[in-house]
Amino acid sequence: MSEKKYKVGYTCGVFDLFHVGHLNLLERCKNMCEYLVVGVCDDKYVTDIKHKTPIFTEEQRVRILNALKVVDKAELVSIEETEDKMLALQRFRFDVLFSGDDWKGSERYLRTEQQFAEYGAHIEYLPYTNGISTTQLKNEMKNN
């Protein structure tokens, strides 16, 4: 077995209406780390911050992710842990955060990169799967 670039990887998301874009992301993450932790945003985050209503409850979303062989551990994360990646780093002790490439270069993530550097943690920016999103799926279901 080849040596992976990182020991413990972490990514975080809502993961509502699980689709192939989610699977592509998780497979990319797992290909770069030996142990993959997935933070699942709690319902309060989805409703209060994203202003959306999840189709599946937080417990169901965690259960779905824990059933996947590419995920080593999925756990519910709070608004605070979702917004402040240093809190997630302290809780999960990862050496790499996987994030969507739309955050690259943003003020928030440049600051996070600096904070992580003090702990030897990195951020890998990954592309989204074109042509699919939970919002798009919800709209298609509404229109059919």
The whole-angstrom separation of Cα 115 and Cα 88 is 12
How far is residue 68 from each of residues 26, 27, 71, 74, 141, measured CA to CA in Å?
9, 10, 6, 10, 25
d(CA 24, CA 6): 18
CA distances from 92 to 3, 17, 26, 74, 88 (A): 21, 25, 17, 11, 6
Strand partners for 99: 125
Please list the active-site residues.
50, 52
